[in-house]
């Protein structure tokens, strides 16, 4: 204990700390509105005793205990909520860690050793050391509490000094417990063109698992985040909700286990599927970060916590602006050449966007990339198509007055490529089975340092030759198939994990050496969407599905975890039944881009797009940096509305959409949120088609924030596929 107190004294003593205050060892991890309280038991093991709304009186901490319940023979059982429960102890439910020690013993009992606290960027970090009493195995639990954002980020480190390697078969990032009458899980399932589909179900006794085994395009079927409604299903503006997400660009697993007495444990971490990990003595196994927040006013408050935190502390260049762009994938596919691209760059300028983004199909000479069957891996400009290479494109962009971005997919290879002919052993595939491909490609083995070097080299070569290149779209279209690493040989259990770690090594180098290059994270749409990757990427591609109706749902789903600034949305020709206005207004809710042939647009449509781009750029600081309020859910009916309010509450932008209203459906006003009740706002409908006047009743009026929030605006109609964008500006009352 003296040692602990000495440590505490030598560190800055901050709010998260209340050690040995009452003759008990209590660790308090606090944000402005949440307390996570841990306690060292008499047996020196570490238990969670509280997770919930901030406790006002420090003296109350000593009253905290885990729930006591009767065992089958009637005696009280104090099993406890062990914070990092090990396999083979008296807890009969899912453990956080499972180890086979050097001598074959599969049990791990962890005892509290010490803890410390220090200030880190944006928060307070608490580190807690636990140790097995029979084996030289240590686990350090890390927690960073971001006070103002009410976000807690937590991860663990496992290391040992046993005589020979140990095998880890479970290695959760953390473990959280609840004791409530009911739990409702909202999951975000997915598939190509169907990302972030929300569904909610009540958790019943036993386990519910959300996981993925896809390796690289890992979140294709399930995204690495969830909402947990306590007592009732997560609602937008009321009730207690935990929003949680794992920062891991690979296989993840969330286990939700309701035990025999109705306690819930939540165990987030890497999915241990096919991943028994051999850990050498003195090596450290670091788990991914689990990031969570408690919203006490529903999911909306939880999302705003995460958005604010991400912009400040996690997303690459989170506090900087974003570039609007014109992409060519939906427009040209693989069919383009140098002149065509130069023309598109002029179009980008004419549209008013900042950048032209060249997509797939610019590389390969022995096997020119004319479709997705060939050439992946051969990152040399196709001479026939692009005789001047990327430098000529940079020059054309310069002349047009836009920046240039370029698509790459450096983690993958087509078997029909020079790269595969030269280095078949760099691709993940079985030595003794027929190869099976996804989108005609294989995944390169990033557990192999040579492959890491190669992948980094793809980016470095392009940037060294073209220092003015501003942006990469980094794609990843295949899950790991043929799961065998020629490099790891007999250690295949490391593959899924070391592959992701190899990817991070590459991304770290890119960020360090080319910090000013922005990158879009793409994975055949939105199959990579996690906060670890977003340390290196400024934004992610939510979906190849750009039908604006589908996008209302997809963007609604992702917005629960990610800020609009991280979410790319493009105007395309998907669903031509919708107007260009509707499509643009939907994309304008996020990071705006276009992927459409402007030559195919009528003059009014083009003028409309130019105005919308200019408006978006003018209002980007509100849309991307303001506070988001989800006002009307598309899941609830035939309309959708979202607003963004600047921190100063001087400006707001309201987006409203009628999808397919019913005949003579009753229409309700939309009540705004987050405005200052005593401020007065001028209401102006913007993004109007050329020559059209607003038919919004309140257009041009000045209304109080109070009125706008209590009475609202008539922005919906019974027309199908109609959209409105309304700008609210504070004026003197």
Q: Which stretch binds ligand DGJ (CB under 6 A): 109-117, 238-246, 461-469, 520-528?
A: 520-528
Considering only 221-229, 440-448, 486-494, 518-526, which stretch makes contact with ligand DGJ by CB under 6 A?
A: 518-526
Instruction: Report the nearest approach of ligand DGJ to the CB of residue 407 (Å).
Output: 6
In contact, 551 and 587? CB cutoff 8 Å: yes
Strand partners, 232: none
CB of 374 to ligand DGJ, least distance (A): 12
Dig out the tokens for 679 from the structure: 């401020």
By the rule CB under 6 A, 440 interacts with ligand DGJ: no
* 211 part of the interface to ligand DGJ, by CB under 6 A: no
Please, which of residues 242-281 interact with ligand DGJ by CB under 6 A? none
Q: How crowded is the C-beta side of 138, counted as CA atoms within 13 Å?
A: 16
Q: DSSP string covering 547-616, please?
A: -HHHHHHHHHHHTTTS-GGGEEEEE-SS-TTS-HHHHHHHHTTSEEEE-S-GGGS-HHHHHHHHHHHHHH
83 burial (CB, 10 Å; 0-12 / 13-18 / 19+) is buried
Binding track, positions 397-426, relative to ligand DGJ; x by CB under 6 A: ----------x-------------------
Please identify which residue in 112, 329, 454, 655 interacts with ligand DGJ, judged by CB under 6 A: 329
Contact letters (x/-) for ligand DGJ, 355-384, by CB under 6 A?
Answer: ----xx-----------x------------
Binding mask of the shown chain, residues 155 to 184, with x at each position contacting ligand DGJ by CB under 6 A: ------------------------------
| 148 token code pair | 């103002």
Q: Is position 525 an interface residue for ligand DGJ (rule: CB under 6 A)?
A: yes
- The residue written with tokens 């929300």 in the block is 198
- Name the residue nearer to ligand DGJ (CB basis): 493 or 525: 525
Phi and psi at residue 546, to the nearest 5°: -115, 15
Choices 52-60, 63-71, 517-525, 664-672; region in contact with ligand DGJ by CB under 6 A: 517-525
Contact residue for ligand DGJ among 522, 592, 609, 624 (CB under 6 A) = 522
Tell whether residue 393 is a contact of ligand DGJ (CB under 6 A). Answer: no
The Cβ of residue 211 has, within 10 Å, a number of other Cβ atoms equal to 19
Angle made by CA atoms 164, 166, 172, in degrees to the nearest 5? 155
Virtual CA dihedral for 512, 155, 123, 590, nearest 10 degrees? 60
Q: Which is nearer to ligand DGJ, 309 or 407 (CB)?
A: 407
- Minimum distance of ligand DGJ from residue 475's CB (angstroms): 5
| Contact (Cβ atoms closer than 8 angstroms) between residue 250 and residue 219 | no
Name which of 595 and 605 has its Cβ closer to ligand DGJ: 595
Should residue 573 be labelled a site residue for ligand DGJ when binding is judged by CB under 6 A?
Answer: no
- 473 vs 673, which CB is nearer to ligand DGJ? 473
Q: Burial level of 164, CB count in 10 A (0-12/13-18/19+)?
A: exposed
Q: Does 546 bind ligand DGJ (CB under 6 A)?
A: no
- Does 723 engage in binding with ligand DGJ (CB under 6 A)? no
For 78-91, give the secondary structure using H, E and C.
CCCCECCCECCCCC
Binding to ligand DGJ by residue 124, rule CB under 6 A? no
Comparing CB distances to ligand DGJ, the nearer of 480 and 715 is: 480
Which one among 232, 237, 297, 544 touches ligand DGJ, defined by CB under 6 A?
A: 544
Q: Is 477 in the site for ligand DGJ (CB under 6 A)?
A: yes
Report, in Å, the least distance between residue 573 CB and ligand DGJ.
Answer: 14
Tell me, rounded to whole angstroms, the distance of Cα 30 from its chain centroid. 23
In the region spanning residues 289 to 328, those forming contacts with ligand DGJ, defined by CB under 6 A, are none
Is residue 146 at the binding interface for ligand DGJ, with CB under 6 A as the rule?
A: no
Residue 202: partners with Cβ closer than 8 Å, 6 or more residues away: 182, 183, 184, 185, 233
Among 268, 55, 66, 41, CA closest to 175: 268
- Which residues sit at the interface with ligand DGJ, rule CB under 6 A? 329, 359-360, 372, 407, 475, 477, 522, 524-525, 541, 544
């Amino acid at each position: 204990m003296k040692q602990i107190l000495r440590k505490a004294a030598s560190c800055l003593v901050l709010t998260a700390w209340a050690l040995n205050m009452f003759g008990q060892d209590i660790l308090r991890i606090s944000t402005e509105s949440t307390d996570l309280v841990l306690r060292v038991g008499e047996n020196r093991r570490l238990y969670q005793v509280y997770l919930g709304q901030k406790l006002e009186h420090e003296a109350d901490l000593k009253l905290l205990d885990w729930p006591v319940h009767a065992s089958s023979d009637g005696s009280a059982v104090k099993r406890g909520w062990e914070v990092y429960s090990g396999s083979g102890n008296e807890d009969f439910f899912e453990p956080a860690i499972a180890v086979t020690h050097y001598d074959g013993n599969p049990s791990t009992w962890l005892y509290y050793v010490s803890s410390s606290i220090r200030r880190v960027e944006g928060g307070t970090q608490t580190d807690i050391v636990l140790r097995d009493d029979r084996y030289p195995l240590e686990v350090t639990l890390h927690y960073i509490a971001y006070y103002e954002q009410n976000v807690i980020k937590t991860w663990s480190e496992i290391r040992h000094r046993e005589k020979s390697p140990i095998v880890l078969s479970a290695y959760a990032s953390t473990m959280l417990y609840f004791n409530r009458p009911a739990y409702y899980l909202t999951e975000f399932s997915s598939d190509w063109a169907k990302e972030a589909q929300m569904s909610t179900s009540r958790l019943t006794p036993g386990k519910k698992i959300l996981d993925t085994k896809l390796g690289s395009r890992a979140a294709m079927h399930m995204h690495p985040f969830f909402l947990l409604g306590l007592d009732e299903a997560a609602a937008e503006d009321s009730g207690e909700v935990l929003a949680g997400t794992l920062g891991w660009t690979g296989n993840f697993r969330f286990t939700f286990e309701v035990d025999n007495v109705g306690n819930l444990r939540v165990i987030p971490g890497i999915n241990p599927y096919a991943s028994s990990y051999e850990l050498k003595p003195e090596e450290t196994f670091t788990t991914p970060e689990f990031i969570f927040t408690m919203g006490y006013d529903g999911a909306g408050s939880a999302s705003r916590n995460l958005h604010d935190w991400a912009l400040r502390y996690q997303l690459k260049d989170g506090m900087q602006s974003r570039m609007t762009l014109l992409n060519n994938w939906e427009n040209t596919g693989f069919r383009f050449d140098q002149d065509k691209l130069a023309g598109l760059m002029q179009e980008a300028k004419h549209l008013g966007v900042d950048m032209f983004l060249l997509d797939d199909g610019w590389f390969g000479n022995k096997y020119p990339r004319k479709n997705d069957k060939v050439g992946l891996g051969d990152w040399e400009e196709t001479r026939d198509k692009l005789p001047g290479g990327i430098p000529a494109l940079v020059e054309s962009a310069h002349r047009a007055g836009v920046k240039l971005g370029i698509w790459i997919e450096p983690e993958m290879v087509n078997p029909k490529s020079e790269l595969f002919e030269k280095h078949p052993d760099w691709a993940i595939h079985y030595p003794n089975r027929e190869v099976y491909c996804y989108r005609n490609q294989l995944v390169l083995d990033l557990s192999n340092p040579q492959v890491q070097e190669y992948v980094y080299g793809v980016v470095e070569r392009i940037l060294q030759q073209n220092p003015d290149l501003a942006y990469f779209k980094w794609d990843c279209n295949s899950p790991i198939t043929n799961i065998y690493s020629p490099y790891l040989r007999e250690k295949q259990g490391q593959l899924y994990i070391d592959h992701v770690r190899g990817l991070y090594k590459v991304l770290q180098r890119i960020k360090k050496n080319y910090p000013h290059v922005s990158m879009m994270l793409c994975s055949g749409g939105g199959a990579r969407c996690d906060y670890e990757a977003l340390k290196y990427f400024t934004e992610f591609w939510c979906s190849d599905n750009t039908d604006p109706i589908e996008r209302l749902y997809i963007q609604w789903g992702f917005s629960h975890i990610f800020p609009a600034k991280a979410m790319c949305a493009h105007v395309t020709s998907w669903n031509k039944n919708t107007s260009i206005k509707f499509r643009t207004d939907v994309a304008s809710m996020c990071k705006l881009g276009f992927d459409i042939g402007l030559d195919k647009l009528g003059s009014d449509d083009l003028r409309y797009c130019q105005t919308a781009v200019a408006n978006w750029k003018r209002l980007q600081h509100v849309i991307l940096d303001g506070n988001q309020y989800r006002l009307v859910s598309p899941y609830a009916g035939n309309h959708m509305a979202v607003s963004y309010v600047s921190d100063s509450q001087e400006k707001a932008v309201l987006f409203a959409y009628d999808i397919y209203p019913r005949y003579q459906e009753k229409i309700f006003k939309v009540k705004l949120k987050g405005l200052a009740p005593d401020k007065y706002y001028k209401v102006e409908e913007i993004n109007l088609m050329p020559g059209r006047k607003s038919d919004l009743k309140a257009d041009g009026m000045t209304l109080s924030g109070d009125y706008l929030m209590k009475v609202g605006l008539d922005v919906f109609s019974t027309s199908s596929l109609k959209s409105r964008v309304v700008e609210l500006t504070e004026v003197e009352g």
